[in-house]
């Protein structure tokens, strides 16, 4: 229900949140992580953008690239999501994902500039899954990228934006990611 609520606010990304959950779990399984962790990722990674419910429509739905000030507001979705989900025992896993899915391996991400393994593993995995789906999807301000373009960018970002181990696992299952995306993506914004 929370995921559906967030997706109603961001109509360009129908299915995005659920795909991020599926992709995150697929990556985690490739990394041979505990099955409970993988299942939790599939359930809770779709809530990574729940904080967008607190972003004004005038910024969330701008049909162009955001200016610096607007981007600062969009970045607040990580903290808003964390505020919504934290201190609720059932949603602690989701709260950490919402808070950390835009942190970068090299410390240049947001909101807290966490670095390396200081970023919770669920956030590091969700970051790659979110990137893959976002870049493959059309937005009102840009065209979608091909699978090969996105995978090349993810590989180039290994060790800077993304955890190298997560990138390695993603590369190992890239054909499955492509197949699931191609089968489930249906929205093209003109």
pLDDT digits (tens, 9 = 90+) for 97-131: 999 999 999 999 999 999 999 999 999 999 999 99
CA 28 distance to own-chain centroid: 14
Paired tokens of 124: 């590091």
Question: How confident is the prediction for the chain on average, in pLDDT?
Answer: 91
The answer to whether the beta carbons of residues 11 and 150 sit under 8 Å apart is: no
User: Does the structure show a pLDDT above 90 at 70?
Assistant: yes
Residue 182: count other Cβ atoms within 10 Å of its Cβ. 10
Q: Classify residue 141 by its DSSP letter.
A: T
Query: pTM for this one?
Result: 0.92
pLDDT for the residue numbered 189: 45
Residues 28, 37: Cα–Cα separation, whole Å: 8
Name the band, by pLDDT with cuts 50, 70 and 90, for residue 4. Answer: low
Query: Residue 16 corresponds to which tokens in the numbers above?
Result: 């995005």
Q: What is the pLDDT of residue 97?
A: 98
Asked if residue 56 has pLDDT above 70, the reply is yes
Rounded Cα gap, residues 65 and 116, in angstroms: 29
What is the pLDDT, as a whole number, of residue 63?
A: 80
Residue 75 has pLDDT above 80, yes or no: yes
According to DSSP, the residues that pair with 82 across neighbouring strands are none
Select the more confidently predicted residue: 59 or 24: 24
- Least confident span in 58-72, 81-95, 113-127, 144-158: 58-72
pLDDT digits (tens, 9 = 90+) for 131-158: 999 999 887 677 889 999 999 999 999 9
Q: pLDDT > 70: what percent of the chain?
A: 89
Whether the pLDDT of residue 9 is over 60: the answer is no
């Amino acid at each position: 229900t929370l995921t559906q609520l967030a997706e109603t606010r961001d109509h360009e990304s129908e299915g995005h949140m659920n795909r991020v959950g599926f992709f995150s779990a697929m990556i985690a399984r490739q990394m041979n992580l505990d099955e409970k962790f993988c299942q939790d990722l599939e359930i809770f990674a779709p809530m990574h953008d729940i904080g967008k419910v607190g972003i004004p429509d005038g910024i969330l739905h701008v049909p162009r690239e955001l200016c610096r000030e607007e981007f600062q507001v969009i970045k607040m979705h990580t903290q808003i999501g964390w505020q919504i989900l934290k201190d609720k025992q059932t949603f602690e896993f989701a709260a950490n994902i919402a808070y950390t899915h835009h942190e970068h391996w090299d410390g240049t991400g947001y909101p807290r500039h966490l670095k390396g393994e200081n970023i919770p593993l669920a956030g590091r995995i969700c970051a790659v899954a979110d990137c893959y789906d976002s870049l493959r999807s059309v937005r009102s301000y840009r065209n979608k990228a091909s699978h090969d373009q996105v995978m090349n960018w993810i590989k180039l970002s290994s060790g800077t934006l993304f955890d190298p181990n997560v990138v390695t696992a993603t590369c190992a299952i890239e054909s499955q990611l492509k197949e699931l995306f191609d089968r489930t993506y249906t929205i093209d914004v003109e």
